[in-house]
Amino acid sequence: MDVQENKCTDLVEKTDTKNADQRPKWDNKAQYLLTCIGFAVGLGNVWRFPYLCQTYGGGAFLIPYLIALVCEGLPLLYMELAIGQNLRTGSIGVWNSISPYLCGVGLASMTVSFLVGLFYNTILAWVLWYFLNSFRNPLPWHHCPTALNLTEHIEECKQSTPANYFWYRETLNISPNIDINGGIEGKLVLCLAAAWCIVYFCFIRGIETIGKAIYVTAIFPYVVLTIFLIQSLTLPGATLGIQNLFSPNWETLKDPRVWLDAATQIFFSLSLAFGGLIAFSSYNPQKNNCERDAVLVGCINSFTSIYASIPIFAILGFKAQTNYLECINSHVNTWAVALNISDNNVTEASYELWFTHLNSTNPSFVKEHNLKMCDLNAFLNQSASGTGLAFIVFTEAVTKMPGSQVWAVLFFIMLFTLGLSSMFGSLEGVLTPLLDLHIIPKRIPKELLTGLICLVSFTIALIFCLRSGNYWLEIFNSYVGSVPLLVIAFFEIIAVVCVYGVNRFSDDIEWMTGRRPNLYWQVMWRVISPLMLLVVFLAYVIVEAQKQPTYKAWNPNHVDFPKAEDQPYPSWVFNICVLLPAVPCCLIPLGVLYRFIQLLHKYTTDRNTPEAYDVET
């Protein structure tokens, strides 16, 4: 082991001495911190964390979330920033330097970053489409379009909502199931091309251009969130939404899925195991306090999740109360026309008594008019996450706000800048390892290589512009950004603890920061974090294995339309679902096998080479 460590040390020192002057550097510490924060803080902070918080007991969810941050998130974040800063190379170079047998870990990180970038930038293309449509007056998702006869609204829209129709039909033109690919939507292709062009021009010269763009992409979302917070708190029903978000339900803590989702949320929210954080920290000077950086980035990321939840659910509370009052007014108007009940006699406070009385005395009337009691809690609990929250629920809420166009424009600019910062990290997680491998000829300029990566990514991402593209994006989102990252992170921490050595790693950190990692970090790295990763991985696999893989299809011919139709994946699609996480994970043992074959080949060659005295004889 000592011989291997000495070889690793010599390799790192030679690499560092050779590239110390050539490697780019951040202009200042603020650029580096903002870039790491921008990479960590992404769309999931806005549309995933609030959903989990509302679903799993409101404020009670913060307990497992914070435990996961302390026991899993911060230790792994600190480890990645420190190892990248110390070895000053990308993800492949870092793990290959520690041991040649770990080259597959870096390859797996690079593969995941590439695959995630494919669908992540497609979401930014959708955001661009909505941003452009936000300048229309009225907003196109405010009302149903007129049918060809010009006398009625389109039936699909009438059965659902204008926001649903604009998303599923006018934006995606979605097919009724994943088997029907349909054609490519030209408007989405143009938006996707524009999104990749923006990413390219912001990234064209690596951290030199990222460092300039990040001042806008990392700071602007906080400005917009603050504006939304001030405006949302003035809306009627805002307090209802906030109370619904944070009111603790302690019983939910007995559900193991709460702890599983909390652990995975903090893990993915910090963008661990992508390789981007290792790459960014490798551009730091080695004498830098990476411990303070890790704590700062981790805490700001979690604070952002909570901070973003407040305006989001204040506005959703406003939407719920508005829908509730509209429901009551609709019932009162029906009663006034059919039963000659004066609308002055029915108030919000007395509505429930009136409905209960009518349902008991005249149930045939209630059934004939398909009346269901208006329930404020039901409107408040209409939760959604991901694209459903951003492109359906929130857009519908914005239409009910005064000055809806302004708020729509601000909201989608905020989403785009959030996603753009995360794309920088994903692309860095691909480009830096490629450059550090030295497999790209030096005559190819970095600008051209970046352009080729963006062009290849755009070409492959055209699958998401098909009419079935949304189904494929959900597959990539569910299977690429889950199990592979847990596996990569587990092998990362095992590599540092068992191969590189915690004591040696602590010596490096002491040399870089001036102080040795305290007992908390030592315990987390040695025991708690790897154990927690292993438990989360096994629990995730067990939970997923018990479920039949299904997807939600938008099918106007479905009996319960507009409710989404749950359909099982066809066998060929299911095989792809298995293949997507398997490929990055398999690169790790394949890397070990490749190095072992190299060792055997070298051993065989050395044995078959005659010694000098044999030749003389």
Instruction: Consult the annotation and say whether 40 binds a ligand.
Output: yes
**Could you give the count of Cα atoms lying within 13 Å of 451 in the half-sphere of its Cβ?**
6
Which tokens sit at 603?
A: 């051993």
269 is in an annotated binding site: yes
110: left (phi over 0), alpha (psi -120 to 50) or beta: alpha
3-state secondary structure 545-612: HCCCCEEEECCCCCCCCCCCEEEECCHHHHHHHHHHHHHHHHHHHHHHHHHHHHHHHHHHHHHHCCCH
Beta bridge partners of 213: none
* Tokens (6 digits) for 497: 């603890």
Give dist(CA 132, CA 138) in Å, integer: 13
Establish whether 418 is an annotated binding residue. yes
339 annotated as ligand-binding: no
Q: 550-553 and 565-568 as β-strands: parallel, antiparallel, unpaired?
A: antiparallel
Radius of gyration of the chain (CA): 27
Structure tokens belonging to residue 325:
């009052």
419 assigned to a ligand binding site: no
User: Which of 333, 376, 310, 260 shows the shortest CA–CA distance to 58?
Assistant: 310
Bridge-partner residues for 566, per DSSP?
A: 552
The values of phi and psi at residue 565, to 5°, are: -95, 125
Q: Cα dist. 455→185, 459, 544, 558 in Å? A: 18, 6, 34, 39
- And the tokens for 170? 């006018």
Helix, strand, coil share of the chain (percent; to 5) = 75, 0, 25
| Terminal Cα-to-Cα distance of the chain (whole angstroms) | 38
Rounded-to-integer distance, Cα 223 and Cα 229, Å: 10
Q: Per-residue DSSP letters for 263-292? A: HHHHHHHTTTTSSHHHHHHTTS-SSS-HHH
Distance of CA 145 to the CA centre of its chain: 33
> What are the Cα distances from residue 131, in Å, to 139, 384, 406, 436, 612?
11, 21, 11, 38, 75
Binding-site residue ranges: 38, 40-41, 45, 269, 301, 418, 422
Binding-site residue ranges for Na(+): 38, 40-41, 45, 269, 301, 418, 422
